Amino acid sequence: MTEPTMKAPRKAVRPVKWMRENLFSGWFNTVLTLGVAYLLVTSVGPLLNWFFLDANFVGSDPSACTGAGACWVFINQRLNFFIYGFYPDELQWRVNVMFLLLAVAFVPQFIERFPGRKWLGIFGIFGLPVVGYFLIPGGSFGLEAVESSKWGGLMLTLVLAYIGIIASLPIGILLALGRRSEMPIIRGISVVFIEVWRAVPLITVLFMASVMLPLFLPEGVNIEKLARALIGITLWQSAYMAEVVRGGLQAIPRGQYEAASALGLGYWRRMGLVILPQALKMVIPGIVNTFIALFKDTTLVLIIGLLDVLGTVQSTVSDPTWQNVATEGYVFVAFCFWVFCFGISRYSQKLERKLDTGHKT
Amino acid sequence: MKQQRIDAGPAGPVPWYDPRVRSLFFQAIAIALVFWGGWVLVDNTLSNMESRGISTGFGFLNKTAGFGIIMNLVPYDATMSYGRTFWVGLTNTLLVSAMGVVTATILGFIIGVARLSSNWLVARMALVYIEVIRNIPLLLQIFFWYFAVLRNLPSPRQSLDVGGILFLNNRGLYLPGPMPQEGFGIVWGGILLAIAAVVGIRIRARKRQLATGQIFPAFRVGLAILVFVPVVSFLVAGRPLEWDLPVLRGFNFGGGITIIPELAALWIALSLYTASFIAEIVRSGILSVSKGQTEASRALGLPNGLTLRLVVIPQAMRVIIPPLTSQYLNLVKNSSLATAIGYPDLVAVFMGTTLNQTGQAVEVVAITMAVYLTISLLISLFMNIYNRAVAIKER
């Protein structure tokens, strides 16, 4: 015989009050609101028209683009090229397998309480490069070889960013340890290395890798363009990585170093077992942020003639069969990058909040 | 009873367990490795260059370049030397960097403040701007402005025309160029006088405020002087300024000042991209000033504007300046993306054309990298000096 409980009073949501407080408080805010609203209304309409209402989606050649809006047919038709470059059609399943494995390894990282996500992450960092090393170029296990000059598009972008980050991590850690070392000469070498690479733009590094690297090597030794670009990117990125890791090393309280020494551990065990596990955990958001920066910077390889996703689009928009599709192509690439970068940056912010266990003073 | 001998001296560690010996040993190894690596590289490079017939040394800097450059701030034509192409490239890089730094700072501060606005709509729009722009590669944005926007402008004959003095077409933006006539020196004198007066007034006002607490409206008075004195001297001198208007001649415009589309695209993209990062820096800087500071300043009776100027901004700047300088540095480095659209900056001219023509990769790459290294070291030097100046003086 419970008494009919009274409903809680409806929560006072008063749109008018909210608007008065947040949009129309004072004449200045009112003017601002009206101005911004006017701009929004006048620009959203034409944009919507261009993107969707006047746009053409289906068709197979430029003649299908009759509307005044975007010609998405273009993206549709060349999508294969934008994703795989010149990778042979019948072998693209290998790239797809890698895409799938990447997704399996890293998408669960966004989902808390996903069973075994830590192991998937570890596989993504250590196992995936090995799988990719055999799968994508082929040439072993009965897989047909695909020269790196045929790689391109989104796939190449991911290869560059992924290898760049994975390979620069260990070098970066060593450099950071070197910079914090008590031996003046080791410290000096690390500081010079880090500061020189950080001071020069990536383009000069890529130019150097493509022009000067062949000169540095003994005669007869020749490495392909992609590998040269990767060496340049890795060296350049490892300097940035070193600074991120150094931030973590500095944040570890002195007591941890002293306690590890008091246990009688040697330098490498002190670092490997006590300091680095804590420091690296602390700088995961920083590493993710440098990854985003590197991911965006991989577009620069088109300047030395590699066809990454922007490179493939850039080379097709100048194709005379398609008239004036530059904007469509750029919007497509921008969308690809934006989805990746925005998603990852959200992840890193979430991680930052989670890892912030109040150690910072 | 056996007496233990304790006078054998402290049993020092065996040499190879002595930390000092070890550290010396490892450093010696490191030096040896670096020198060995350097020697191998130099040796390989020298033998490679010899077998390819590449000459060495900096003698090429005095040879005739023989190629044209579409934009030069220092006098240049194709008969000049490769050394001159270096200066053309460097000045072009510095020009676009300086323009970018100014606009990115202004835009970044506006957006950063807008992000904290109490106006919901404005704050949202600022957020959307930041999240969209900074997650799209800069090179893509440069391409967009250059290939999709500026190159699709009408041709010179149909150019957009603002009052017959300003023309915009796919060859660039044409502005009237000021041509100082005889007697313009008086105007320069007036400008210098005004600046000196303003500085003097500021110093006096500050002294008086510290001594008596009275506030002199130095800003308004200064602004008035800055506008008034040059204008009067301009009129007194008899308006010694003429404008060189751009005119359509044949297929293109002549006269006036031209901003080539390559420069414009790079400038717009660099400013917009860097502004999105600066906005976040400004936001976090302002948020880092604790609310107590604002409240205390209000309690002292300072009006809103003075609270902002004397209490909040100086403290926010301390947080803002270091990351801001690193953004400036990024902007300077990113200006090298000019290569991709053909703006003749240092990398495009010197590391591009000059390197291709001379083939002297080592020298050219070394010079270019040295330039960027110098710029970066100078900027971090200034930052350190500034940091020392504004650091909290703890007693």
pLDDT for position B296: 92
Q: Which residues of A touch B339 (CB under 8 A)?
A: 203, 303
pLDDT for position B282: 92
Quick check: A32 and B23 CB within 8 A? no
pLDDT for position A235: 92
SS3 A56: strand
pLDDT for position A361: 40
Q: A72-87+146-355, which class in CATH? A: mainly alpha
Quick check: A334 and B136 CB within 8 A? yes
Domains of chain A, residue spans: 1-53, 72-87+146-355
Among A149-163, A311-325, A329-343, which is the least confidently predicted range? A311-325
pLDDT for position A360: 46
Among chain B residues, the shortest Cα distance to A27 is held by B119
Quick check: A212 and B340 CB within 8 A? no
Q: Residues of chain B with pLDDT > 70: what percent? A: 95
d(CA A29, CA B121): 10
pLDDT average, residue stretch A251-274: 90
| CATH number, domain with residue B125 | 1.10.3720.10
Nearest to B44 among A204, A216, A297 (CB): A216
Q: Which residues of B touch A247 (CB under 8 A)?
A: none
The yes-or-no verdict on residue B294 having pLDDT over 90 is no
Quick check: A200 and B48 CB within 8 A? no
Higher model confidence: residue B66 or residue A306? A306
For chain B, the domain total comes to 1
pLDDT for position B263: 92
Q: Which residues of B touch A70 (CB under 8 A)?
A: none
Nearest to B26 among A29, A33, A183 (CB): A183
- Given phi > 0 = left and psi -120 to 50 = alpha, else beta, which region is A262? alpha
d(CA A290, CA A237): 8
Most confident of A18-32, A46-60, B97-111, B363-377: B97-111
Contacts of residue A203, defined as CB under 8 A and 6 or more positions apart, other chains included, come to A300, A303, B336, B337, B339, B347
Q: Which of A74, A204, A316, A328 to mutate to test the interface with B (most CBs of B within 10 A)?
A: A204
B207 belongs to a structural domain: no
Q: What is the pLDDT of residues B31-63, one digit of tens each?
A: 999 999 999 888 888 888 788 777 777 777 888
Q: What is the pLDDT of residues A67-113, one digit of tens each?
A: 777 778 778 778 888 888 888 888 888 888 888 888 888 887 777 77
SS3 A151: strand
Q: Residues of chain A with pLDDT > 90: what percent? A: 18
Q: What is the pLDDT of residues B243-279, one digit of tens each?
A: 777 777 777 777 777 888 899 999 999 999 999 999 9
pLDDT for position B13: 67
pLDDT for position B132: 93
pLDDT for position B1: 47
Q: What is the pLDDT of residues A77-90, one digit of tens each?
A: 788 888 888 888 88
CA-closest candidate to residue B325, choices B392, B384, B266: B384
pLDDT average, residue stretch A243-258: 89
Q: What is the pLDDT of residues B277-292, one digit of tens each?
A: 999 999 999 888 888 9
Going by pLDDT thresholds of 50, 70 and 90, the confidence category of residue A280 is: confident
pLDDT for position B90: 92
Mean pLDDT of chain A: 83
Q: Which residues of B touch A310 (CB under 8 A)?
A: 137, 139-140, 143
Q: Which of B34, B135, B362 to mutate to test the interface with A (most CBs of A within 10 A)?
A: B135
B263 belongs to a structural domain: yes
pLDDT for position A358: 55
What ipTM is given for this predicted complex? Answer: 0.86
Higher model confidence: residue B163 or residue B260? B260
Higher model confidence: residue B388 or residue A206? A206
Among chain A residues, the shortest Cα distance to B331 is held by A201
The yes-or-no verdict on residue B384 having pLDDT over 90 is no
Nearest to B148 among A22, A200, A326 (CB): A326
Going by pLDDT thresholds of 50, 70 and 90, the confidence category of residue B6 is: low
Among chain A residues, the shortest Cα distance to B373 is held by A199
**C-alpha distances out from residue A327 to B7, B31, B195, Å:** 87, 53, 47
pLDDT average, residue stretch B77-106: 90
pLDDT for position A322: 75
Quick check: A204 and B30 CB within 8 A? no
The yes-or-no verdict on residue A152 having pLDDT over 50 is yes
Quick check: A314 and B143 CB within 8 A? yes
d(CA B367, CA A323): 42
The yes-or-no verdict on residue B2 having pLDDT over 60 is no
Per the structure block, which two tokens stand in for A258?
A: 């002293």
Q: Residues of chain B with pLDDT > 90: what percent? A: 25
Which residue segment(s) compose the domain that B127 sits in? 82-176+245-390
The yes-or-no verdict on residue A213 having pLDDT over 90 is no
pLDDT for position A54: 76
pLDDT average, residue stretch A244-258: 89
Quick check: B362 and A219 CB within 8 A? no
pLDDT for position A326: 81
pLDDT for position A251: 85
CA-closest candidate to residue A88, choices A127, A42, A137: A137
Which amino acid is present at B377?
L
3-state secondary structure chain B: CCCCCCCCCCCCCCHHHCHHHHHHHHHHHHHHHHHHHHHHHHHHHHHHHHHHCCCCCCHHHHCECCCCCCCCCCCCCCCCEHHHHHHHHHHHHHHHHHHHHHHHHHHHHHHHHHHCCCCHHHHHHHHHHHHHHCCCCHHHHHHHHHHHHHHHCCCHHHCEEECCCEEEECCEEEECEEEECCCHHHHHHHHHHHHHHHHHHHHHHHHHHHHHCCCCCHHHHHHHHHHHHHHHHHHHCCCCEEEECCEEECCEEECCEEECHHHHHHHHHHHHHHHHHHHHHHHHHHHHCCHHHHHHHHHCCCCHHHHHHHHHHHHHHHHHHHHHHHHHHHHHHHHHHHHHCCCCCHHHHHHHHHHHHHCCHHHHHHHHHHHHHHHHHHHHHHHHHHHHHHCCCCC
Nearest to B362 among A204, A215, A297 (CB): A215
DSSP readout, A70-106? -BHHHHHHHHHHHHHBT--GGGHHHHHHHHHHHHHHH
